[in-house]
Amino acid sequence: MKAFRGEILSVPDDPLAAGPEAIRHYEDGLLVVEDGLVLACGPFAALAERFAEAEVEQLQGLIVPGFVDAHVHYPQILRIASHGEQLMTWLERHIFPAEEAFADRAHADEIAAFFLDELLRHGTTSALVFATVHPGSVDALFEAALQRDMRIVSGKVLMDRGPEGLRDDVPSGRADTEALIARWRGRGRLGYAVTPRFVPTSSSEQLADAGALLAAYPDVLMHTHLSENPGEIEFVAGRYPDAADYLDVYDRFGLVGPRSVFAHCVHMSDRALGRMAEAGAGVAFCPTSNLFLGSGLFDLAAADRHQVRVGIGTDVGAGTSLSILHTLGEAYKVCQLRGASLDPFRALHLATAGGARVMGISDKVGSLLPGQEADFVLLDDKATPLLARRCAGAPLHDRLFALQILGDDRAISGTWLRGRRASLHSNGGLT
Ligand SMILES: [Zn+2]
């Protein structure tokens, strides 16, 4: 048994619905861990006697649950910061050529290791990740995640209408997906997501097949993109002129349900948001990506009105940072441009328990509740001279907000997976 003593903060429930009761803060707290699971979490004074036999490690900083990145593309990481385009031309010019390289398993292995170490360095312990069309790209990511004991959900991309060199077909897409599910089911903390890239790159037959896969495997997610960019939406409307909207296309193929995660959802009608809420589907809000590609401003207040589940995605390589702290700072600004104010405690909830809920893993991670896996991060509000001055003597609300506006990987003192401090494996990571 091991215990960590320090300032602890978690936000298991959405403060929007649950109010201030949702916030659990222990200025001098104790997090007790046994066999990788949280045994207890509360004030040190209340727990110290009960767990007197635990080996206690004192941590300087703010302990929060490990971050959950609800949408990110590992094969795009080296194309981050590619200049000049909006979605469709950015894909063609920068992204599709980069993804072709993942036919080479050695390349996939190298990038997967680098990517996962970068996630850990930024405090992210769970993620829903796009691979490429190549099944080997999933094997590479899952092997590296297994080695690190991370909670990663991913899947082979289905794209039978993709560009030359990145195209599968309906039978091979299905066979590769089923083989990957069989190969990785129940191993480590991995999960599978049926992953049609988006409507423009799949035929109706393939979308129908993806719906059949989702129905046939009750333990997998469905992960795709929705209503990101006006040009993309126009393309989809042209192909399905009788659909009510973009979401309706996914719906007619059985792809809208409680295990569905849709990245972006920037341009959504009330009908579509209402349908998502009714189906229990989740959104990955990706502010840095939406700003970078000029896609538009996600309307969090509208999603809230319909009670749609929301998590936070970095969406690297269109996103501009793997830092969830930085991404929350940009989420705040996007909400400001929509006339709303994102509370820092709620932002932390969306990036931890909220994202876990979207991914269907909220019983496992995201809140530091007893029985959950002890994935956590130590935040340093003195990481830079300016942060230190801004946070000195400030109340928790202000320190947490300053970390989101001024913080990034520099503010991550350490990342723990199931109670063990993460060590980084790849050459590109920390030593
Ligand atoms: Zn994406």
Task: Give the residue from 70, 24, 74 showing the smallest Cα distance to 308.
Answer: 70
Residue 223 Cα to ligand 1 middle (Å):
10
Maximum alpha-carbon separation in the chain: 67
Q: Read off φ and ψ for residue 19, nearest 5 degrees.
A: 75, -165
Task: Give the residue from 267, 380, 326, 345 showing the smallest Cα distance to 21.
Answer: 345
Cα separation, 350 vs 289, whole angstroms: 17
The token pair that represents 97 in the structure block: 């050529």
Contacts of 73 (CB under 8 A, 6+ apart): 129, 130, 315, 316, 317
Residue 395 Cα to ligand 1 middle (Å):
36
Cis peptide before 393 (omega within 30 of 0): no
The token pair that represents 222 in the structure block: 């469905």
Residue 341 Cα to ligand 1 middle (Å):
25
Other CB atoms within a 10 A radius of the CB of residue 357 amount to 24
Residue 150 Cα to ligand 1 middle (Å):
21
Residue 300 Cα to ligand 1 middle (Å):
18
The token pair that represents 317 in the structure block: 């390589």
Cα separation, 365 vs 255, whole angstroms: 25
* Token pair 């590296």 in the structure block, residue: 144
* CB distance 257 to 222 below 8 Å: yes
DSSP code of residue 235: H
Residue 14 Cα to ligand 1 middle (Å):
25
**Residue 134 CA, distance from chain mean position:** 21
Q: pTM, whole model, 2 decimals?
A: 0.97
Residue 332 Cα to ligand 1 middle (Å):
20
Task: Give the residue from 113, 123, 150 showing the smallest Cα distance to 36.
Answer: 150
Cα separation, 431 vs 428, whole angstroms: 9
The token pair that represents 82 in the structure block: 């590619």
Residue 367 Cα to ligand 1 middle (Å):
26
Q: Where do runs of H (alpha helix) occur along 149-229? A: 170-184, 204-216
Cα separation, 84 vs 86, whole angstroms: 7
Cα separation, 2 vs 420, whole angstroms: 10
Cα separation, 87 vs 227, whole angstroms: 11
Residue 380 Cα to ligand 1 middle (Å):
30
Q: What is the pLDDT along the chain (431 residues), one digit of tens a residue?
A: 999 999 999 999 999 999 999 999 999 999 999 999 999 999 999 999 999 999 999 999 999 999 999 999 999 999 999 999 999 999 999 999 999 999 999 999 999 999 999 999 999 999 999 999 999 999 999 999 999 999 999 999 999 999 999 999 999 999 999 999 999 999 999 999 999 999 999 999 999 999 999 999 999 999 999 999 999 999 999 999 999 999 999 999 999 999 999 999 999 999 999 999 999 999 999 999 999 999 999 999 999 999 999 999 999 999 999 999 999 999 999 999 999 999 999 999 999 999 999 999 999 999 999 999 999 999 999 999 999 999 999 999 999 999 999 999 999 999 999 999 998 665 554 43
The token pair that represents 250 in the structure block: 């996914």
Cα separation, 174 vs 214, whole angstroms: 11
Q: First and final CA of the chain: distance in angstroms?
A: 27
Length of the chain: 431
